[in-house]
Chain A
Amino acid sequence: MSTTPTLDEPDVNGPDERGRFGDFGGRFMPEALMAALDELTAAWHEAMADEAFTAEFQRMLREYAGVPSLLYDATKLSERAGARILLKREDLNHTGAHKIRNVLGQALLTKRMGKTRMIAETGAGQHGVATATAAAYLGLDCTVYMGELDTERQALNVARMQLLGAEVIPVSSGSRTLKDAINEAIRDWVASVDRTAYCFGTAAGPHPFPAMVRDFCRGIGDEARAQCLELTGALPDSVVACVGGGSNAIGLFTAFLQDESVDVFGFEAGGDGVDTERHAATIWAGEVGVLHGARTYVLQDEDGQTVESHSISAGLDYPGVGPQHAHLAHIGRATYRPVTDTAAMDAMALLARTEGIIPAIESAHAVAGAMELARERPGSTILVNLSGRGDKDMGTAIEWFGLGQASSDGTPEPATEEQIAEGAK
Chain B
Amino acid sequence: MTSTADAFARTREEGRAALVGYLPAGFPDVAGSIEAMRTMVDSGCDVIEVGLPYSDPVMDGPTIQAAAQRALEGGIRTRDVLRTVEAVAATGTPTVVMTYWNPVERYGVERFAADLAGAGGAGLITPDLTPDSGEEWIAAADSHDLDKIFLVAPSSTDERLRYTADACRGFVYATAVMGVTGARTSTSDLAGPLVARTRAVTDLPVGVGLGVSSGEQAAEVAAFADAVIVGSAFVRALLDAEDRSAGLKALAVLTEDLASGVRRG
Contact = CB atoms under 8 A, between A and B. Distances in A.
Interface of A: 18, 26-36, 173-174, 179-180, 183, 186-187, 190-191, 193, 289-293, 298, 300, 302-306
B61 to A, nearest CB: 7
A186 B62 CA distance: 14
A183 B102 contact: no
A31 B106 contact: no
Given A27-B133, A31-B153, A186 B58 contact: yes
A35 B160 contact: yes
B129 interface: yes
A289 B155 contact: no
Closest 8 pairs between A and B when the two form their complex, measured CB to CB:
A304-B106, A32-B153, A191-B179, A304-B103, A35-B155, A304-B102, A306-B55, A305-B55
A190 B179 CA distance: 5
B155 A32 contact: yes
A32 B56 contact: no
A305 B72 contact: yes
Contacts of A305: 54-55, 72, 103
Chain B CB count within 10 A is highest, among A31, A191, A291, for A31
B56 A31 contact: no
20 contacts: A27-B133, A28-B133, A29-B128, A29-B130, A31-B155, A31-B160, A34-B132, A35-B153, A173-B62, A173-B69, A174-B56, A174-B69, A187-B61, A190-B178, A190-B179, A191-B178, A191-B180, A303-B77, A303-B103, A306-B56
Nearest to B99: A304
A30 B180 CA distance: 10
Interface string B178-220: 1110000000000000000000000000000000000000000
A190 B133 contact: no
B56 A303 contact: no
A418 B153 CA distance: 52
B128 A30 contact: yes
A27 B132 contact: yes
Contact of B101 (A18, A28, A186, A193): A28
Contacts of A28: 101, 128-129, 133
B56 A183 contact: yes
Contact of B102 (A27, A180, A298): A298
A34 B155 contact: yes
Given A32-B154, A303-B78, 5 more contacts: A18-B132, A28-B128, A30-B151, A174-B55, A187-B179
B57 interface: yes
B17 to A, nearest CB: 22
A292 B56 contact: yes
Nearest to A39: B155
Contacts of A26: 133
A18 B178 CA distance: 24
A28 B179 CA distance: 17
Interface in B131-187: 132-133, 150-157, 160, 164, 175, 177-180
A298 B91 CA distance: 38
B160 A30 contact: no
Size category of the binding interface on chain B = 35 or more
A173 B164 contact: no
Nearest to B106: A304
B65 interface: yes
Given A289-B105, A303-B107, A304-B107, A31 B156 contact: yes
Contacts of A29: 128, 130
Contacts of B246: none
Interface in B1-44: none
A190 B128 contact: no
A233 B78 CA distance: 58
Contacts of B133: 26-28
A290 B102 contact: yes
A332 to B, nearest CB: 24
A34 B127 CA distance: 12
Contact of B151 (A27, A31, A289, A291): A31
Interface string B57-75: 1110110010001001000
Nearest to A180: B56
Contacts of B77: 303
A164 to B, nearest CB: 27
A29 B153 CA distance: 12
Contacts of B101: 28, 290
Nearest to B62: A173
A31 B58 CA distance: 12
Contacts of B132: 18, 27, 34
A183 B59 CA distance: 9
B65 A31 contact: no
A30 B178 CA distance: 11
Contacts of B150: 31
B91 to A, nearest CB: 26
Contacts of B102: 289-291, 298, 300, 304, 306
A298 B106 CA distance: 11
A83 to B, nearest CB: 41
Interface in B79-137: 101-107, 127-130, 132-133
Contacts of A173: 62, 65, 69
A32 B58 contact: no
A180 B62 CA distance: 12
A186 B72 CA distance: 21
B259 to A, nearest CB: 28
Contacts of A186: 58
A21 B104 CA distance: 22
A304 B111 CA distance: 14
A321 to B, nearest CB: 15
A34 B157 CA distance: 9
Contact of A34 (B58, B104, B156, B179): B156
B2 to A, nearest CB: 27
Contacts of A30: 58-59, 127-128, 151, 153, 175
